[in-house]
Amino acid sequence: MNIVFLDGYTINPGDLTWQPLEALGHLTVYDRTEPDEVLERATGAEVLIVNKTCLTASHFDALKSLKLVCVAATGYDRIDTEAARRQGVVVCNCAGYSSLSVAQMVVSLLLEAFDSVGFYAERNRRGAWSDSPDFCYTVKPRVELAGKRMAIVGFGNIGRTVARIMQAFGLQLFAVSSKEAHELPDGVQKITLDEAFATCDIVSLNCPLTPQNRGFVNAGLLARANPRLVLVNTARGALVDEQAVAGALSQGRLGAYCTDVLTQEPPAPDCPLLSAPNCYITPHIGWDTIEARRRILDILVDNIRAFQSGSPVSVVN
């Protein structure tokens, strides 16, 4: 079986082994693939593995040997899954591999917003504490998480993991979810999106990106939101209208925006969030622990083996 991985570098920059995939067939791995290189590199592949490389209808029309696409991620919004289905190509993803890592990033972003660890560490490297007349150097207030109201938008694997971790901090937890109230775990109450933004201190976005929810965090929703709200996004950048979020931050109508994802990645230098106040941005690394990347490789192997046996799993189309 001819297996081609179009953008393998972020999954394995050299600290893991490709051997389990090599055992399944002839494996070719490219670190990165530009859009105009996809067809040339993918021609003849029976199995195509992609992380963030886009696959369009024209690709599926042209790749006559292709039988299986394995997305080395949970989200598959960069794949035209309907076009793949029309051509008889199975598309599988790697759901669940990153729940612990992404939930950990939610906590990290929140603690930075509430405790300013990075801010103080940088100030102290410049001598701010050394120059302080007091034993404690304080320029930004810290706030306890205990007792705060937190809503989780999207209650899949990651959302559930976030809730489980945040319970230990003593927060009041809510979920904006298609699940019924009785399906939610103890200590998590169902809430509407408007109620979450208007009444909660923290909202965490942990839902997939779909055509229906693209840009749903917009100027209208933010106008109805708690002006002290801390918004966390470890899902997809395009869930929010970044110009509206930057405007709300600049005008004091949003407490903070903590995000690991942007609409354009890497961001353009003029991305409005890069210069917005109280905006904490990490470079899409929430999923990127060695443990999570090892799980991706294990799931890829399982998905290809299952397809070879005639019983594909993790199918999204």
Model pLDDT for residues 76-125, shown as the tens digit of each residue: 989 999 999 999 999 999 988 999 999 999 999 999 999 999 999 999 99
Residue at token pair 């001819």: 2
Rounded to whole angstroms, how far apart are CA atoms 283 and 262?
8
Rounded to whole angstroms, how far apart are CA atoms 172 and 188? 8
Residue 74 pLDDT exceeds 90: no
Q: Residue ranges of the alpha helices (H) in the chain?
A: 19-22, 38-42, 57-62, 81-86, 99-115, 117-125, 157-167, 193-199, 219-223, 242-250, 290-308
Catalytic site residue 265? yes
Question: Please, what are the domains in the chain?
Answer: 2-97+290-308 (3.40.50.720), 99-281 (3.40.50.720)
Annotated active-site residue 236? The verdict is yes
Report helix, strand or coil for 199.
helix
Catalytically annotated residue among 160, 236, 253, 295: 236
Using one digit for the tens of pLDDT, what is the confidence trace for 229-276? 999 999 999 999 999 999 999 999 999 999 999 999 999 999 999 999
Q: Residue 99 in contact with residue 161, Cβ under 8 Å? A: yes
pLDDT digits (tens, 9 = 90+) for 10-26: 999 999 999 999 999 99
The reply to whether 144 belongs to the active site is no
Long-range contacts of 248-253 (CB under 8 A, 24+ apart): 248/219, 248/222, 249/276, 249/277, 249/278, 249/279, 250/276, 250/277, 252/227, 253/222, 253/223, 253/225, 253/227
Quote the pLDDT of residue 314.
95
Give residue 156's pLDDT band: very low, low, confident or very high (50, 70, 90). very high
Identify the active-site residue in 37, 82, 144, 265. Answer: 265
Residue 195 has pLDDT above 90, yes or no: yes
Under 8 Å between Cβ of 3 and 49: yes
Whether the model pTM is above 0.85: yes
Which among 160, 253, 284, 293 is annotated as catalytic?
Answer: 284
Mean pLDDT of 57-79: 95
pLDDT-derived band at 75 (thresholds 50, 70, 90) equals confident
